[in-house]
């Protein structure tokens, strides 16, 4: 396995690092405190091609490989996890399933506007009583003529209040055993209006809106069915498998951001006449932090390699993606906690930002499947092999 990044991957990574430094760093605290969606920065990301990284050039995208997308996302997470979440939702949770499951007409209709940033997307799967168990969803879609009529409520939807394109999951009937037939739909908000409900007041990641979506007799053209009827569960699982690598990368990015801030602080801060880095308790903590970050990178890169070699449905890839997400997210919680500790009292203050990274890291253990779900996925594969 070759760990060297190619010229194109390095170019995307550097472009993201430069953008984060020049455009984001100076306003990052303001973004989190204002809790407002950063439209201007999002459009600047779109101008750089970041909103359509994984979308092929024929649909107006950057045509980047998956690792290039992850590198950009990781660089953004070092400075703003909120912008990284917006970028991730657009590419990983919306563009990729359209590319993997949509027909040619659907791709022509939906991908260009996503690639340009003209429209933002969201992934509407979770419900009040269907989180880790999406098969228990209550949202329904009933076929009426040339329309599917959706009714139900979705919960905790990233970008929900700003998205114009939504992939929405609904039950389209019952199987003989009484279980839901789950299907996925491409919903254009301008064509098939739906409501934004509660905008959640969260622990962190404040510049990325997380909302309730309400569908009341929302009529969607029959041609907007994504894949075939009953394919919804497959669409969701395959999307979440790659999405776990996105969360792993965000975890690595925010942990790296916290680590760099802690290292800088420890070099500059003096106690008892010595820099903090001269105390073994601090230097060893920093050593453990960077070791854990690099271990998470290796797990993630291996999973990306397996994805390219074996495909999205391969059990070994699915297990590797779960391992990367599990380790990276729990690593991020530990590393950001240590970053706060190294800063001492300063770490509890917002100006130093490590407390912001600490709060963001906690989310990584929940989104795209909790740590418990990852362990279930991994053990299922390991116990069969």
Predicted local confidence at residue 385, as pLDDT: 65
Predicted local confidence at residue 2, as pLDDT: 75
Q: Which residues in the chain land under pLDDT 50?
A: none
Read off the pLDDT of residues 229-250 as tens digits, 9 standing for 90 and up: 999 999 999 999 999 999 999 9
Query: Where exactly are the structural domains of the chain?
Result: 7-119, 122-230, 234-384
Q: Is residue 176 packed enough to be buried (19+ CB in 10 Å), middle (13-18) or exposed (0-12)?
A: exposed
Contact 69, 212 (CB under 8 A): no
- Between helices 66-79 and 280-310, what is the axis angle to 10°? 150
User: 140: which strand partners?
Assistant: 151, 171
Pairing of strands 210-221, 225-226: unpaired
Read off the pLDDT of residues 123-159 as tens digits, 9 standing for 90 and up: 999 999 887 777 789 999 999 999 999 999 999 999 9
- How far is the C-alpha of 26 from the C-alpha of 54, rounded, in Å? 28
User: Is 268 a residue of the active site?
Assistant: no
Q: Where are the alpha helices (DSSP H) in 311-365?
A: 315-343, 354-364
Name the residue among 267, 241, 198 with its Cα closest to residue 97: 241
The CATH superfamily of 7-119 is Acyl-CoA dehydrogenase/oxidase, N-terminal domain (1.10.540.10)
Predicted local confidence at residue 384, as pLDDT: 82
Reported CATH class of domain 234-384: mainly alpha
**3.40.640.10, 3.30.2130.30, 2.40.110.10, 2.120.10.30: CATH of 122-230:** 2.40.110.10
| pTM for the predicted model, two decimal places | 0.94
Which of 75, 212, 330, 368 does the annotation list as catalytic?
368
Enter the tokens of residue 196: 């934004």
Topology agreement, domain 122-230 and domain 234-384: no
Enter the tokens of residue 227: 């894949």
Predicted local confidence at residue 282, as pLDDT: 97
- How far is the C-alpha of 337 from the C-alpha of 341, rounded, in Å? 6
Percent pLDDT > 70 in the chain is 99
DSSP string of 148-170? Answer: EEEEEEEEEEETTTT-SEEEEEE
């Amino acid at each position: 396995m070759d760990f060297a990044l190619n010229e194109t991957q390095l170019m995307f990574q550097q472009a993201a690092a430069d953008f984060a430094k020049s455009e984001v760093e100076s306003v990052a605290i303001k973004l989190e405190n204002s809790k407002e969606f950063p439209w201007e920065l999002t459009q600047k990301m779109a101008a750089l091609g970041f909103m359509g990284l994984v979308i092929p050039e024929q649909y107006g995208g950057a045509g980047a490989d998956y690792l290039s997308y992850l590198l950009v996302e990781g660089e953004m997470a070092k400075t703003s996890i909120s912008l990284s979440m917006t970028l991730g939702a657009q590419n990983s949770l919306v563009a990729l399933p359209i590319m993997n499951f949509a027909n040619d007409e659907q791709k022509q209709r939906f991908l260009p506007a996503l690639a340009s940033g003209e429209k933002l997307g969201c992934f509407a799967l979770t419900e009040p009583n269907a989180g880790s168990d999406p098969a228990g969803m209550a949202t329904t879609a009933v076929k009426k003529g040339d329309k599917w009529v959706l009714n139900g409520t979705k919960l905790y939807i990233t970008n929900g209040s700003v998205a114009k394109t939504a992939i929405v999951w609904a039950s389209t009937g019952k199987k003989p055993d009484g279980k839901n037939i789950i299907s996925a739909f491409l919903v254009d908000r301008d064509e098939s209006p739906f409501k934004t409900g509660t905008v959640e007041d969260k622990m962190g990641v404040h510049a990325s809106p997380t909302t309730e979506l309400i569908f009341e007799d929302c009529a969607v053209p029959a041609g907007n069915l994504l894949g075939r009827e009953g394919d919804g569960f497959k669409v969701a699982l395959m999307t979440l498998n790659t999405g776990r690598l996105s969360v792993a990368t965000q975890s690595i990015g925010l942990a790296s951001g916290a680590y760099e801030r802690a290292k800088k602080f420890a070099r500059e801060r003096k106690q008892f006449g010595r820099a903090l880095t001269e105390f073994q308790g601090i230097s060893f903590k920093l050593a453990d932090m960077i070791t854990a970050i690099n271990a998470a990178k290796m797990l993630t890169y291996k999973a990306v390699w397996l994805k390219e070699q074996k495909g999205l449905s391969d059990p070994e890839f699915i297990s590797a993606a779960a391992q990367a997400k599990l380790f990276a997210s729990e690593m991020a919680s530990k590393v950001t906690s240590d970053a706060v500790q190294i800063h001492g009292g300063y770490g509890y203050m917002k100006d130093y930002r490590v407390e912001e990274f600490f709060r963001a890291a906690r989310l990584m253990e929940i989104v795209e499947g909790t740590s418990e779900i990852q362990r279930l996925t991994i053990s299922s594969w390991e116990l069969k092999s």
